[in-house]
Chain A
Amino acid sequence: MKARQVLVPLAAVVVFLVLWEALVWVMGWPNYKMASPSDLIPAYEKYWSLFLIMGWQTLWRTIVGLLLAVIFGTGLGMVMGFSRTMRDALYPLLVGFNAVPKATVVPIVALMFVGWHDFNTVLIAFMISFFPIAVSVSIGLSTLEPEYRDILRSLGASQAQVFWKIALPKTLPEFFGALKVSVTLAFIGTNLMEIVSPHGRGLGALFDSGKTNSDYPLMFAVLIALAFLGIVLYYIVVALEKIFAGWADRTV
């Protein structure tokens, strides 16, 4: 990796923080209206152990939800990609399911599985993030040019060989595109549940306690911590994409 690839985004972050600080200072906003970056440092100092514990809670539940979304979304995408009947049958259901705002589902799930905090948080993270994966995999498979299939089938290849040798690798760029969207969606899902759920844990619960105690810098500090986790997970996906679907990148 070149120095430019690290320094340029880092400089952009610094510029962003300076502008934010300047905006709050120029407007003379009190920290309950808008906390400035300099207000956040004391919040992190005071609650650093909570940030570590809660951050880990949020992170692992998001990742588990995301993994479930990958497994289920890929499976569903395969079913819809290979079978026209299944595609016709499942698409309206899937679109309808996705159209329901998850914020409205959160209280229902929180009540349904009351006390199972880990479970219902993972469930919402999963529910909110599998849709893009299922759609991208199904489109990737159903748009496979027939010649690709014929090349292998004329050699006597089985359906499984066609899938592993051609359909799967050919779908990977679309899959990773969807996964990048799903990563951020899964974070939204986890936090919705953490905030809404009584006696919740994770960064969402920390945010909620900041609200209850009118600790506004803490609330902003949680937002920044969430952004940080989001960036980390996103770049993990980017790294995986480079390894498994780097061939699709034509800009290098």
Chain B
Amino acid sequence: MENLIEIKGVRHSYRTASGPLPVLDGLDVTVPEGGFVAVVGPSGCGKSTLTRLVAGLLIPDEGTVNVHGTRITAPRSNVGMAFQNPVLLEWRTILDNVMLPLEIVPNKLTKAQGEDRARKLLALVGLEGFESKRPSELSGGMKQRASLCRALIHQPEVLILDEPFGALDAFTREDLWQTMHKVKAEEPFTGVLITHDLRESIFLADQVVVLSGRPAKTQFVMDIPDTGLRTLEDLYTPLAAERLNVLRHQIEVAQGRVAA
């Protein structure tokens, strides 16, 4: 399969008052078309910087970020983003929020077609009947669902999820994990998921990348070759426990608590 996203040898520093602060130092991540890669690592290791690189919001000091073989040097309209903060526009209805990218990205959809697609996506994530509500009338989990629809409305090549479920309670989070599988089956995408939650990473992704502490480099890669529909029960099998143990150990190495 062709690699849709290729990040090679990326180094990046932020300029701060006390000199350059290196955040990425030798980052390699590849995501095949249709793949879903989870990136985990210690707090503040540069995971969010990675999403900004893929979105073209940030150009790395060294190394390359390619999407579809094209080097990313500026934002392009073929990405969808969702963050921990759902950042819905409070003055718009849920439907108008979801349709926002269509106002920016060049597309061939008429307004009616765009609306149909938005309604379809909202129904897919279980928000049917909430189209004309305002964000302030929705719970945190529902806002995140709407934010996910907005990230997908323009059929982006790459979906970037930066800890989208981080602020939700455990049960809502598990609900949303299952929603993600449903969405991926209906609306296939290539995704990068940033997360702190190891269970989330092995449940959703087909590859987990562990980053080292700051400045981050790719420290460890685990493939999750499971195919077919995953269920929450799969998280309570000996195989899942073994994977979590390995990842847990890698995180501790990244934190510098234990030797590799």
Contacts and interface: CB of A to CB of B under 8 A. Distances in A.
Interface string B81-123: 1010101011100000000110111000000000000000000
A250 interface: yes
Interface string B213-250: 00000000000000000000000000000000000000
Interface stretch (B29-37, B49-57, B166-174, B187-195): B49-57
A232 interface: no
Given A166-B89, A247-B90, A155 B134 contact: no
B69 interface: no
A153 B55 CA distance: 9
A155 B87 contact: no
B57 A154 contact: yes
Contacts of A9: none
Q: What is the predominant secondary structure among interface residues of chain A facing chain B?
A: helix
A9 B85 CA distance: 41
Interface in A142-184: 145, 147-148, 150-157, 161, 165-166, 169-170, 172
B87 A151 contact: yes
Contact of B87 (A145, A247, A250): A145
Would you list the 7 A-B pairs with minimal beta carbon distance, nearest first?
A154-B55, A247-B91, A155-B104, A156-B77, A147-B87, A157-B104, A147-B83
A147 B85 contact: yes
B103 A153 contact: no
B182 interface: no
A248 interface: yes
Interface of A: 145, 147-148, 150-157, 161, 165-166, 169-170, 172, 245, 247-248, 250
Interface in B150-188: 150, 154, 160
B79 interface: yes
23 contacts: A145-B85, A145-B87, A147-B83, A150-B57, A150-B81, A151-B87, A152-B100, A153-B57, A154-B57, A154-B75, A154-B79, A154-B81, A154-B160, A155-B75, A155-B79, A155-B104, A156-B105, A165-B100, A170-B89, A170-B91, A247-B134, A248-B90, A250-B136
B56 A155 contact: no
B55 to A, nearest CB: 4
A153 B75 contact: yes
Contacts of A150: 52, 55, 57, 81, 83
Given A150-B55, A151-B87, A156 B75 contact: yes
Interface string B69-83: 000001111010101
User: Counting chain B CB atoms within 10 Å of each CB, which of A152, A166, A169, A170 scores highest?
Assistant: A152
Given A152-B100, A165-B104, A247-B91, 6 more contacts: A145-B87, A150-B57, A151-B83, A154-B57, A166-B89, A245-B91
Interface string B139-155: 00000000000100010
Contact of A165 (B90, B103, B134): B103
B76 A148 contact: no
Contacts of B134: 247
Nearest to B52: A150
A157 B75 CA distance: 9
